[in-house]
């Protein structure tokens, strides 16, 4: 966008009030609890539904994100041909509207160009071979959502191949996956560096850089710019999905992850806008980086699979129950010092307020879903989308209601029991001696009188 330079201002602001604090929080929770999935919510058993909601979301992410790898592999295989299939017309998937003379070079001098095929007037309504390869060959878009169309067997084969590759990359656990990530995480930066060197040497590169750096301050007054910044932060940092918590659970208890966390966040926001390119950009003759797309997508797919295997999701609810100060003390036990005070205020006030503002903005400005600014999805398609969204949201209130009904005692006693952390045996060597009193015994003592009037039923939910 021409206002991308100004976009960095709200982007960086949301990084410091939303991205970095929650990134730190999720890694800290995983490292402290050393549990994955729903079990990590022993820190506040009442909100185990948040873990369930996260697993539902990650299940959907696993279902669609794998297609990015599939498309990358599909393009990578076709790029091995002597002539790129998306560079020329005349293929079985091309239409009469396809033209190879498409782009600014074809419109040189406008209508004064002597080549009639390159006349800008003649290009009206034409389609590039890149677009037709993507829509007609790769996607095989049907006329309506109610028309599923035929199975693309080539894509199906790529899908099976991709799942096999992902399986063998993660089948021995996250430690073996870490060796694969050495390549998948670093290779995109090599590609970005090569593209940067190539880009700055092209004619007119200086004008493009000046255009990029020229700020349009009026954009700061638009709410959409701030909402886009917040949405992009939570998406790019994988906040709220549980990947950071799941990966943090593999750290040593006393691992000081503060430096690595700071470095990762700093590098992440600096390279995001350059590395976040989709298949549409990959199909362009000027951006052929399918191998980078496959490796970067594979790295993200590994994390998503790890989340699905063990996924706690972080929200501010359990901090309000367990206490931000107490969790700050828990972090101090791990890294040797308390985090910055602004972290606590972000966890309990600022970050939740930012999330609520983003949610309300999207709710107020909701518009029916469209494809390519032309096709409007039918009402039943919208209903399916809302059902998928609510399938994760409803996990939280349903689980809270279920646990309150299953727990015996007064409402006050139920609340106290369900919001009390349930420590695991692995915390004995790290916590203070009085923490042993909070541990649930593995087996009840025979003949021991009951000490609680409220009974906590520990189940999968």
Strands 370-371, 375-376: pairing kind = antiparallel
**Distance between CA 31 and CA 257 in Å, rounded?**
9
Distance CA 61, CA 55 (A): 10
- The answer to whether 310 and 41 have CB atoms below 8 angstroms apart is no
Handedness of CA 240, 241, 245, 248 (dihedral sign): negative
Are the C-beta atoms of 5 and 215 separated by less than 8 Å?
yes
Q: Measured between alpha carbons, how far is 372 from 370 in angstroms, rounded to an integer?
A: 7
CA distance 24 to 260: 10
Q: How far apart are CA 237 and CA 269, in angstroms?
A: 9
> Measured at the alpha carbon of residue 12, what is the angle toward residues 208 and 364, in degrees to the nearest 5?
100
Considering only CA atoms, which of 192, 200, 226 is closest in space to residue 8?
A: 226
128 among annotated binding-site residues: no
8 Å CB contact between 199 and 205: yes
| Tokens of residue 18, six digits | 């939303």
Contact 344, 325 (CB under 8 A): yes
Enumerate the known binding-site residues. Answer: 236
Enumerate the known binding-site residues for Na(+). Answer: 236
């Amino acid at each position: 966008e021409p206002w991308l330079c100004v976009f960095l201002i709200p982007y960086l602001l949301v990084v410091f009030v939303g991205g970095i604090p929650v990134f730190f929080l999720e890694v800290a929770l995983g490292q402290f609890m050393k549990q994955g999935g729903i079990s990590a919510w022993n820190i506040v058993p009442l909100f185990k539904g948040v873990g369930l909601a996260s697993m539902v979301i990650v299940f959907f992410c696993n279902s669609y994100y794998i297609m990015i790898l599939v498309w990358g592999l599909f393009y990578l295989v076709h790029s091995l041909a002597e002539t790129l299939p998306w560079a020329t017309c005349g293929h079985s998937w091309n239409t009469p509207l396809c033209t190879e003379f498409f782009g600014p070079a074809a419109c040189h001098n406008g209508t004064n160009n002597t080549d009639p095929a390159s006349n800008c007037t003649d290009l009206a309504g034409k389609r590039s071979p890149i677009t037709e390869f993507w829509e007609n060959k790769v996607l095989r878009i049907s006329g309506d959502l109610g028309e599923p169309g035929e199975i693309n067997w080539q894509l199906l084969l790529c899908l099976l191949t991709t799942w096999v590759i992902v399986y063998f990359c993660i089948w021995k656990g996250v430690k073996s996956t870490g060796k694969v990530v050495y390549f998948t995480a670093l290779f995109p930066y090599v590609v970005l560096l090569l593209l940067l060197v190539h880009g700055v040497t092209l004619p007119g590169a200086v004008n493009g850089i000046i255009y990029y750096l020229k700020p349009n301050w009026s954009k700061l007054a638009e709410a959409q710019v701030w909402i886009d910044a917040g949405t992009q932060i939570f998406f790019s940092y994988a906040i709220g999905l549980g990947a950071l918590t799941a990966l943090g659970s593999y750290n040593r208890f006393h691992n000081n992850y503060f430096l690595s966390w700071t470095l990762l966040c700093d590098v992440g926001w600096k390279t995001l806008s350059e590395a976040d390119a989709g298949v549409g950009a990959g199909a362009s003759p000027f951006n052929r980086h399918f191998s980078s797309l496959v490796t970067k997508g594979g790295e993200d797919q590994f994390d998503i699979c790890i989340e699905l295997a063990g996924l706690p999701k972080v929200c501010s609810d359990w901090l309000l129950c367990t206490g931000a100060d107490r969790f700050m003390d828990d972090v101090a036990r791990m890294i040797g010092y308390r985090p910055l005070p602004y972290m606590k205020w972000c966890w309990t006030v600022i970050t939740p307020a930012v999330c609520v503002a983003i949610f309300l903005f999207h709710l107020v400005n909701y518009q029916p879903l469209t494809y390519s600014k032309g096709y409007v999805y039918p009402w039943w398609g919208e209903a399916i989308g809302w059902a998928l969204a609510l399938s994760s949201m409803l996990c939280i209130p349903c689980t809270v209601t279920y646990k309150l009904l299953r727990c015996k005692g007064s409402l006050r006693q139920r609340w106290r029991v369900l919001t009390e952390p349930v420590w695991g045996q692995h915390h004995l060597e790290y916590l203070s001696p009085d923490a042993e009193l909070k541990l649930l015994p593995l087996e009840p003592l025979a003949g021991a009188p009951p000490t609680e009037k409220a009974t906590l039923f520990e189940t999968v939910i």
